[in-house]
Amino acid sequence: MRTQAALVLTIVALTLGGCSTEPSTLEEVMADVSAKAAKIETYATDFVAVAKMGGMEMTYTGDMMGKGNLMAATMNMNMMGQSIVTKMILDASNTMWMDMDMMGMKQVMKMDMAQVEKFQEDALGELLPGGLGGLGGMGSMQNDPRFMLEQMANTFDLTYEGKERFNDSDVYVLHGTLRPDIKAQLEGTADGDNPFAIGMSMAGSMMGSMRLKIGTKDGFVRLNEMLDESGAPWMTMTYENVRINGQIDGSDFEYTPPSDAVVMDLSDMMEQMNMTELEGDLP
């Protein structure tokens, strides 16, 4: 009887202890975030993006929503007193549409994201298996923290800095320092005219580390920040008014360009650039 009572008490203690224990290590936090992010079926959020490059600062504001592999966003930027509005839609065919209204002029562009991924692979080889996503999800269109953390673990030395309150949300704070070997390889990728390689070389020269703040309740990112070697931010994405698993209409991820619009296919341009590079490599 005493043995049975002791066993019952032990099971109860372990169960209660498991319920009350909060993640305290990097591995526990990553597991907790992944488990909660897996339950996200839809999201909607406002965002503010600030980029600082070459002495210039650009601020973008907007909103985005996602459902599975689909994404829709509206981005606003003020340039020289003029508002530039860009709508971005990643549809069911894996095509990214960009509808830009700049100073009264309409421009429509599209990209086959499968082609973009191939172009990244050609540019970066085995250096970053996740392409731009290897730098903390820079190339991710779905804002999935599982993808971000998986790719960060391949290229950054990660640490867990604890919990804090950020914009009315409790968040886990993770910091990653770009590995020296990855940084050196990134800086040496600028070869030819491939824009991904050139872009990654620039990012490698600017990148020192990055910081993620992820909601403890829902596993959704609240801050994605790129820092230079001095610790100063040069790219910051802040997510506010986050709504998880709300009703989203599938038509929000559909796009048909205006009948009079000239559509620029960036996939074709990338393919031509890639073919030009390949021909240049021929003896």
pLDDT tens track for 210-257: 999 999 999 999 999 999 888 899 889 999 999 999 999 889 999 999
Helix (H) or strand (E) holding 12: helix 2-20
Task: Please provide the average confidence, as pLDDT, over all residues in the chain.
Answer: 79
CA neighbor of 205 nearest in space, from 234, 175, 174 = 234
Task: List the end-to-end C-alpha distance of the chain, in Å, as a whole number.
Answer: 85
pLDDT tens track for 58-109: 899 999 999 988 999 999 987 667 788 999 999 999 999 999 987 677 889 9
Query: Higher-confidence residue: 218 or 150?
Result: 218
d(C-alpha 58, C-alpha 207), whole Å? 18
Query: Higher-confidence residue: 223 or 117?
Result: 223
- Provide the percentage of residues in the chain whose pLDDT is more than 70: 71
pTM, rounded to two decimals = 0.79
3-state SS assignment for residue 223: strand
DSSP state, 232? Answer: -
pLDDT band at 275 (very low <50, low <70, confident <90, very high): very low
Tell me if 97 sits within 8 A of 89, measured CB to CB.
Answer: yes
d(C-alpha 147, C-alpha 155), whole Å? 13
pLDDT tens track for 192-201: 555 555 666 6
Query: Higher-confidence residue: 8 or 81?
Result: 81
Tell me if 22 sits within 8 A of 45, measured CB to CB.
Answer: no
Query: Higher-confidence residue: 172 or 19?
Result: 172
d(C-alpha 154, C-alpha 110), whole Å? 30
DSSP state, 35? Answer: H
d(C-alpha 265, C-alpha 276), whole Å? 17
